[in-house]
C-alpha cells in the first residue's frame, strides 16, 4: 500500500507576556552588548509571568489551530517538554478543559531535552501512515530558565509551538527518510530535585556539532538528499549563532567553506523569532520553521533541511518539503504580534520574576494576575494546578 503524504497542516507559536532585552542585561552585567547581539545572536528573551507556565503557553499556541481545524479527526495529542509540571500526569491533560479536547484522544507527554517534539512529529507520521484520517496535535512547550550569574543566563527564553500533523498537509510534507544519532553525554541535564539544569555549555556546543554531522551522515546512508538540494535549513537554536556554527560545521565536513553571506541565505530567515524569544528548548526548531515560512515567500515545492538536537543527546536530520500555496495556511501576523506585544521588563522586575516560586506545601496559593491572555494559572491548591480561561 503506498504511504500517504504526511506533514504539517498548521503551525502556531506563542510566547510569554514579558520580555527583557539583551541591551538591559548587558548594562547590568557589565558585558559588551555585542557579545549578545553578535556573539550569541540574541536581542531579547521571553520571561514568563507568575501566572504562565508550559500549560498556558501550550494552550495559547494550540487554541487557534483547533479553532481552524476543529477536533473531530483529532485522535492523539503529543506534548513535548523538558519543563514538566508533574512527574506522573501528562501536561496535555490540563488542556482538556482549556481547549475542550475530545475524550476520544490519546494524550501523552514526551521528554528528551530539546529533541522530543521531533520524536512527536515522527510518531505522528507513523500513526497517520496507519490511518490517514487520523490527525495528531504535537505541542512543543518550554521555559528555559538558568541560574542568574551563569554564562547560560543570557540564553533563557520561553515559547510554544502547536503543530497539526495530517495526511495531505497544506504547509509542509515530512519525507519519510530521516537520519538519527544518539549517545550518552552529560552536557545538559536537570535532576528531579533541581529547578534549573546543570549545564556544561562548551561541551553542549561540541556535542551538538558532532551529533549534527552524525545525524546527517545517517540520513545520507538511508538515501537522504544532497546538501545542495535544500533551499534553506532550520536548526535547533538555543541561541541563533548556534545555527550558524552548526551549518558551517556540517558544510565543512563536506569540504565546503561557506561565507557569512552563504550562511545568511540558508539560515537568516529562520532566526527572527528565536533572536527575540531566546531558547524555547523543544519549541525552538519549530519557531525556526515558522520564522522561515513567515519570512520567505518562494519556498513552495522546495526542500528545507531540519536539524533537531536535544542534549544528552539525540539528534535527527529530516526534510520538510514545502507545499505550494503554503502561505495561505500561515499565521505570520499573529506570530509577529505574539513577539511584539510582550511587555518589556526593568532589570529588577526581571530578577524578582526569576526568583518567584509558588510555595510547595498543600495550602491554597493564588497566583498574582499579570497576564491578559486567554489562559492563566490561577492557583495551586492541595498540590493541584488550577487554570482559568478568560
Ligand atoms: N563581541 C562580539 N562577540 C563576542 C564578544 C564581543 N564583545 N565577546 C564574546 N563574543 C563571542 C565569543 O567569541 C563567542 O563566539 P564563538 O563561539 O563564535 O567563539 C560567543 O560570543 C560567546 O562567547 P563565550 O565567551 O564563548 O560565551 P560564554 O562562555 O558566556 O557562554 C554558552 C556561551 C553558549 C556556552 C552559554 O550561554 C551556555 O552555557 N548556554 C546554555 C547551553 C547552550 O545553549 N548550549 C548550546 C547547545 S545545546
- Ligand 1 pocket test, pick from 39, 208, 277 with the greatest ligand atom count within 8 Å of Cβ, gives 39
- Ligand 1 pocket test, pick from 23, 36, 40 with the greatest ligand atom count within 8 Å of Cβ, gives 40
Question: Is 202 near ligand 1, meaning CB less than 6 Å away?
Answer: yes
pLDDT tens for residues 131-175? 999 999 999 999 999 999 999 999 999 999 999 999 999 999 999
Output the CA angle 58-135-301, nearest 5 degrees: 95
- In sequence order, the β-bridge partners of residue 320 are 174, 304
Residue 13's nearest CA partner among 339, 235, 278 is 339
346 burial (CB, 10 Å; 0-12 / 13-18 / 19+) is exposed
- Say how far apart CA 42 and CA 348 lie, in whole Å: 20
Residue with cell 542568574: 148
Question: Is 238 near ligand 1, meaning CB less than 6 Å away?
Answer: yes
pTM for the structure as a whole: 0.98
Q: Which residue minimizes the CA distance to atom 33 of ligand 1?
A: 151
- Say how far apart CA 331 and CA 324 lie, in whole Å: 16
- Say how far apart CA 274 and CA 180 lie, in whole Å: 24
Q: Which SS3 state, helix, strand or coil, does residue 65 take?
A: helix
DSSP state of 323: P
- Say how far apart CA 75 and CA 103 lie, in whole Å: 9
pLDDT tens for residues 186-199? 999 999 999 999 99
pLDDT tens for residues 22-62? 999 999 999 999 999 999 999 999 999 999 999 999 999 99
Amino acid at each position: 500500500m503506498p504511504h500517504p503524504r504526511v506533514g504539517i497542516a498548521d503551525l502556531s507559536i506563542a510566547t510569554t507576556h514579558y520580555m527583557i532585552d539583551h541591551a538591559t542585561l548587558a548594562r547590568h552585567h557589565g558585558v559588551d552588548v555585542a557579545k549578545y547581539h553578535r556573539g550569541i545572536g540574541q536581542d531579547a528573551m521571553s520571561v514568563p509571568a507568575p501566572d504562565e507556565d508550559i500549560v498556558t503557553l501550550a494552550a495559547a499556541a494550540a487554541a487557534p489551530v483547533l479553532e481552524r481545524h476543529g477536533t473531530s479527526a483529532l485522535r492523539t495529542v503529543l506534548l513535548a517538554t523538558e519543563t514538566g509540571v508533574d512527574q506522573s500526569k501528562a501536561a496535555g491533560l490540563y488542556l482538556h478543559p482549556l481547549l475542550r479536547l475530545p475524550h476520544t484522544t490519546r494524550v501523552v507527554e514526551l521528554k528528551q531535552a530539546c529533541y522530543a517534539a521531533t520524536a512527536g512529529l515522527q510518531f505522528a507520521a507513523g500513526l497517520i501512515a496507519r490511518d490517514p484520517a487520523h490527525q495528531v496535535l504535537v505541542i512543543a512547550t518550554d521555559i528555559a530558565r538558568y541560574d542568574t550569574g551563569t554564562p547560560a543566563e543570557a540564553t533563557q527564553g520561553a515559547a510554544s509551538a502547536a503543530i497539526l500533523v495530517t495526511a495531505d498537509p497544506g504547509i509542509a510534507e515530512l519525507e519519510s527518510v530521516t537520519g538519527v544519532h544518539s549517545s550518552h553525554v552529560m552536557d545538559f541535564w536537570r535532576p528531579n530535585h533541581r529547578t534549573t539544569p546543570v549545564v556544561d555549555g562548551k561541551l553542549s556546543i561540541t556535542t551538538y556539532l558532532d551529533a549534527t554531522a552524525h545525524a546527517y551522515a545517517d540520513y545520507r546512508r538511508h538515501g537522504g538528499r544532497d546538501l545542495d538540494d535544500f533551499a534553506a535549513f532550520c536548526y535547533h537554536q538555543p541561541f541563533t549563532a548556534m545555527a550558524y556554527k552548526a551549518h558551517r560545521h556540517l558544510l565543512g565536513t563536506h569540504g565546503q567553506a561557506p561565507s557569512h553571506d552563504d550562511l545568511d541565505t540558508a539560515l537568516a530567515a529562520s532566526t527572527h523569532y528565536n533572536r527575540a524569544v531566546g531558547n524555547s528548548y523543544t519549541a525552538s526548531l519549530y519557531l525556526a520553521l515558522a520564522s522561515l515560512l513567515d519570512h520567505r515567500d518562494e519556498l513552495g515545492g522546495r526542500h528545507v533541511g531540519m536539524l533537531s538536537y536535544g542534549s544528552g543527546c539525540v539528534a535527527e536530520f529530516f526534510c520538510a518539503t514545502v507545499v505550494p500555496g503554503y502561505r495561505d495556511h500561515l499565521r505570520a501576523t499573529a506570530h509577529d504580534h505574539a513577539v511584539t506585544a510582550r511587555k518589556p521588563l526593568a532589570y529588577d522586575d526581571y530578577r524578582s520574576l526569576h526568583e518567584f516560586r509558588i510555595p510547595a506545601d498543600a495550602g491554597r496559593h493564588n497566583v498574582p494576575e499579570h497576564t491578559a491572555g486567554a489562559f492563566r494559572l490561577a492557583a495551586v491548591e492541595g498540590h493541584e494546578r488550577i487554570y482559568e480561561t478568560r
